[in-house]
A and B are shown apart, each in its own frame.
Chain A
Amino acid sequence: MIAELGHFSLVLALAMAIIQSTFPIMGAAMGNLTYMSLARPAARLQFLFVSISFGILVYSFLINDFSISYVANNSNTLLPWIYRFSAVWGAHEGSLLLWILILSIWTIAVTYFSHRLPEYFLSRVIGVMGLVSIGFLLFMLFTSNPFERIFPIPLDGADLNPLLQDPGLIIHPPILYMGYVGFSVAFGFAIAALLGGNLDTTWARWSRPWTLLAWIFLTIGIALGSWWAYYELGWGGWWFWDPVENASFMPWLIGTALIHSLAATDKREIFKNWTILLAICAFALSLLGTFLVRSGVITSVHAFATDPTRGIFILALLAIFVGGSLVLYAFRAPSTKSGGKFKLLSRETFLLFNSILFLVAMLTVLLGTIYPLIIEALNLGKLSVGAPYFNAVFVPIMAPLIIFLGLGVLTKWKQDDFSLLLKQLRNLLIASLFIGISIGLIFFENNQLKSIAGIVAALWISTTSLYSLFVKIKNKKNKLAAMRIISRSFYGMLVAHIGFAVCIVGITITSQHSVDIHQRMKIGDVIEFSNYQFHLKDLKAVSGPNYEATEAIVDVIKNESLITTLRSQKRTYTVRNMPMTEAGIDAGFTRDIYMALGEPLDNESWSVRLYHKPFVRWIWLGAILMAIGGLLAVLDKRYRLRILKKKIITINNEAIP
């Protein structure tokens, strides 16, 4: 009975979504306040019904209700309860429900935190988000009902894919979806602005914190995914350029362009159309990602079980939402008045370059991802585009971005003097080059050029960013007080840019200087590798709740002292009879030592892979810093009017920059 209730609750949610979108949008067009006032309650009720439905699915997993086909296919009585919980989003139907739940969470957040918005605008935002909700609820009800019954009822479930039985996978999808779906808010704001016809810049200011939040979630979500792949897949890789990764990376690239472009639109009333287009594009790419992963047009490691009817449905949704928005854009955009003027050498120019380079980066990833499809469509055969391609073309596109970043943060709005700028930058450039080259030559014996390039890039970003802080306070008497007055979004920018630099260091050094070996080992063997000694102390059988494993215990010794003891397991999950590697990792600030147990060989030996990965943590540390930077910007006072007013009275001698 309860499963039918969950299903029915989805139908009610659909009804609410229909009310949430039709009346408020009509009301905003007609100036009917009663219609508009339906936006908030309808959105909240929709959230309630989606939550009930989601709650019921969770409950069904927890009590092992195998009469529900989705539960039976993705769970098992032996599965620990926490994975029964996360199994809810372990496959297509449940993860789609999570998608809808998160959309309604964002919508309800908009209803609570947008009191400053005019009623007609808010109605349109919520209405547009309701339209998206309708699309996905219909998709769910017609093609992907998670509450479908199965008969005869199986005695036990087919178990959750062992790859997904991992703590990282409990939090990775919800956070990633918070990012993906979060762009629907920016999309809602952009469409509301287009519907209203007055593309002033207020919409940009209102949507900035929302867009930043979505971007933060997406940043963390992608980093979590990369970290999970690193330790769970057992090959020490942290980015594979798999279509599924690309699907999350493309919205991130455009999201990054968007948060920069929004800043320019907000502060200088420029790039209005461009920003709208980026907002549409970010959401379109989120939908595209959903399409690529779930339709089966492209082969990927982590694709869902695919079904072309689902693909057609998502494609139709994509065509309606994105096509519709772009038509609307084509009608409204030509009448937009351009805002403030600027010279070629100005911060505006560099912000525009930022957008454009991120756009080119996104197009590059898109091209590589769909090129096999293009070739097949033209009947030219079948080819693969993989990591070697992306690495080769992506880095040269990032290079100008990094150069412009350093120039941009130090350039004034409107116009700047080239000779003055050069004077400031000359020393920073020389310092970055000098330190970078020294580090490269002293610490690295091979791949020196690439390492130096990466380190110089990181130094260039950090020194120019820090110098921009210095510029702000150098003429002030009380430096500390001056630093306190500087806005949080400025510090946010600083931290995020330094995070980017940290990420570059991590990526460069890990890719250029990781080493690994593949060896045969038996108990008692000692291997010398990368200045460490690895001593296989023991191999023992271990059993988990739903798997059998062999565990290797390896002492890592350097200069006769024990550094760490690594434990790596080769598991066989009994229900699906699927092997999994649990890597043994000693994480460190400057290096990881990574061990993966391979397969049993003859003579009681096992194959073992050992990796030494310098600075790999910096990749994720950089992502965390970027997210913190984003958070600082969200917390900027200018988004909280009331507090701002109070503060202005106390700090009346300094203008808020």
Chain B
Amino acid sequence: MKILYQSIVFALVILTTHKSYPNDEPVYFTDKNQEQRYYLLIEEIRCLVCQNQSLADSNAPLAQDLRNEIFKMIKSEKSNNQITEFLVERYGDFVLYRPPLNDNTWLLWFGPFLFLIIAITTAIIFIKKQSQNNTIDN
């Protein structure tokens, strides 16, 4: 029940934040490199108020504010690291769609390749074993 209540409240919160008007003012860069970095960054930062959308994909006012913030930081020559650090300090790792590699995420990043190695090795051992058991019958 508690979670249900919270969900309703959150729905309210999310609805109400949509109330203020979006400002979809395009941003302009003179530096091609900065422009690329901007679009890449807003693709990889999560919009917190939305269900599961990046800043680039969201119309929520907070997403627009954060896009603006990122725009300003890029213009003032901040590095990608400085920008993501700025956001993580305020909102936590949750904002990063590309989780940083650390003690908590090594399994996430290397897991797939671990699966791959284990799976292929097991398969090869299995094949070798079954082909040695008997000679190939035709």
From B46, B92, B135, contact of A381 by CB (8 A) = B92
Q: A383-B94, A384-B93 are in contact. List 20 more A-B contacts (CB 8 A).
A: A299-B52, A341-B134, A341-B136, A344-B128, A348-B127, A352-B126, A359-B119, A360-B115, A364-B112, A368-B108, A383-B99, A384-B96, A386-B97, A388-B44, A388-B97, A389-B98, A389-B99, A520-B26, A607-B25, A607-B26
| Min CB gap A508→B, angstroms | 18
Kindly state the separation between the CA atoms of A371 and B93 in the bound complex, as whole angstroms. 13
A-B contact pairs, 29 of them (CB 8 A): A243-B52, A299-B51, A301-B50, A341-B131, A342-B127, A344-B128, A348-B127, A352-B123, A356-B119, A360-B115, A360-B116, A363-B112, A363-B115, A368-B108, A383-B96, A383-B104, A384-B94, A384-B99, A385-B99, A385-B108, A386-B52, A386-B98, A388-B43, A393-B112, A396-B113, A414-B138, A520-B25, A598-B24, A601-B25
State the CA gap A357–B113 with chains docked (Å).
Answer: 11
A296 touches B130 (CB 8 A): no
Measuring CB to CB, which residues of chain A are less than 8 angstroms from any residue of chain B? Answer: 233, 235, 237, 240, 242-243, 296, 299-301, 303, 305-308, 338, 340-344, 348-349, 352-353, 356-357, 359-360, 363-364, 367-368, 371, 375, 380-389, 392-394, 396-397, 400, 414-415, 518-520, 579, 598-599, 601, 607
**B120 touching A384, Cβ below 8 Å:** no
Bound together, the chains give a CA A520 to CA B26 distance in angstroms of 6
A393 touches B104 (CB 8 A): no
- Residues of A near B99 (CB, < 8 A) are 383-385, 389
CB of B92 within 8 A of CB of A242, answer: no
The verdict on B105 contacting chain A, using a C-beta distance below 8 Å, is yes
Which residues of B in the span 75-116 have a Cβ within 8 Å of any Cβ on A? 92-99, 104-105, 107-109, 111-113, 115-116
Q: Which residue of B lies closest to A300 (CB)?
A: B52
Select which of A359, A364, A384, A414 is within 8 A of B46 by beta carbon: A384
In Å, the complex CA distance between A371 and B124 comes to 29
**Residues from chain A with Cβ under 8 Å of B50 in the complex:** 301
Q: Which residues of B contact A388 (CB under 8 A)?
A: 43-44, 97-98
Does B12 make an interface contact (CB < 8 A)? Answer: no
CB distance from B105 to the nearest CB of A (A): 7
A235 near B57 (CB under 8 angstroms)?
yes
Chain B residues, CB < 8 A from A387: 43, 54, 97
Candidates B52, B112, B128; contact of A397 at CB < 8 Å = B112
Q: Decide yes or no whether B137 CB sits under 8 A from chain A.
A: yes
Q: Give the size category of B's interface with A.
A: 35 or more
In whole Å, how far is B93's beta carbon from the nearest beta carbon of chain A?
5
Once the chains are docked, how many angstroms separate the CA of A16 from the CA of B36? 61
Query: B108 contacts A386, CB within 8 Å?
Result: no
Q: Find chain B residues with CB under 8 A from A393 CB.
A: 109, 112-113
In chain B, what residue has the closest Cβ to A392?
B98
A633 to chain B, nearest CB (A): 25
Is B108 within 8 A of A367, CB to CB?
yes
User: Complex Cα distance A386/B116, Å?
Assistant: 21
Nearest-CB residue, chain B, relative to A607 = B24
Complex Cα distance A360/B137, Å?
32
* Nearest Cβ on chain A to B64's Cβ, whole angstroms: 10
A364 x B25 contact (CB < 8 A): no
B56 at the interface (CB under 8 A from A): yes
Most buried by A among B27, B54, B135: B54
Give residues of chain B (7-66) contacting chain A, Cβ–Cβ below 8 Å. Answer: 7, 22-27, 43-44, 46, 50-54, 56-57, 59
Are B108 and A342 in touch, CB under 8 angstroms? no
Inter-chain CA distance A371–B127, complex, in Å, is 32
How far does the alpha carbon of A349 sit from the alpha carbon of B96 in the complex, in Å? 40
Q: Which residues of B contact A400 (CB under 8 A)?
A: 116
A5 to chain B, nearest CB (A): 30
Q: Which of B104, B120, B123, B135 contacts A375 (CB 8 A)?
A: B104
A382 touches B123 (CB 8 A): no
State in angstroms the CA–CA spacing of A182 and B103 once bound together: 41
Closest chain B CB from A58 CB (angstroms): 28
> In the complex, how many angstroms separate the beta carbon of B12 from the nearest chain A beta carbon?
13
When distances are taken between beta carbons in the complex, the residues of chain B under 8 Å from A344 are 124, 127-128, 131
- Is A356 in contact with B112, judged by CB distance below 8 angstroms? no
Give Cα A397–Cα B56 distance, bound, in whole angstroms.
Answer: 28
* Most chain A Cβ neighbours within 10 Å, of B4, B24, B113, B128: B24
Chain B residues with Cβ below 8 Å from A375 are 104
B residues in contact with A367, CB < 8 Å: 107-108, 111-112
The answer, among B54, B95, B112, B130, for a CB contact under 8 Å with A360, is B112
Question: In the bound complex, do residue A382 and residue B93 qualify as a contact, i.e. CB atoms below 8 Å apart?
Answer: yes
Task: Give Cα A242–Cα B24 distance, bound, in whole angstroms.
Answer: 24
Cα of A400 to Cα of B113 in the assembled complex, Å: 12
A371 in contact with B131 (CB, 8 Å): no
Q: How far is the CA of A99 from the CA of B112 in the complex (A)?
A: 32
- Give the CA-CA distance A289 to B111 in the complex, in Å: 21
| B24 touching A599, Cβ below 8 Å | yes
Contact residues in B for A301 (Cβ distance below 8 Å): 50-53
CB pair A382–B92 under 8 Å, yes or no, is yes
Interface centre among A388, A414, A519 (most CB of B within 10 A): A388
Docked complex Cα distance between A387 and B93 (Å) = 15
Contacts of B23 in A (CB 8 A): 599, 601
A306 B7 Cβ-Cβ under 8 A: yes
Q: What residue in chain A is nearest B57 (Cβ atoms)? A: A235
Considering the chains assembled together, what is the distance between the CA atoms of A389 and B136 in angstroms? 44
Instruction: Kindly provide the distance from the CB of A486 to the nearest chain B CB, expressed in whole angstroms.
Output: 23
Q: Given A308-B3, A389-B108, A384–B95 Cβ distance below 8 Å?
A: yes
What residues of chain A lie closer than 8 Å to B104, measured between beta carbons?
375, 380-381, 383
Q: Which residue of B lies closest to A519 (CB)?
A: B26
B residues near A380, Cβ cutoff 8 Å: 104
When distances are taken between beta carbons in the complex, the residues of chain A under 8 Å from B128 are: 344
| B-side contacts of A579, CB under 8 Å | 59
CB neighbours of B137 from chain A (8 A):
340-341
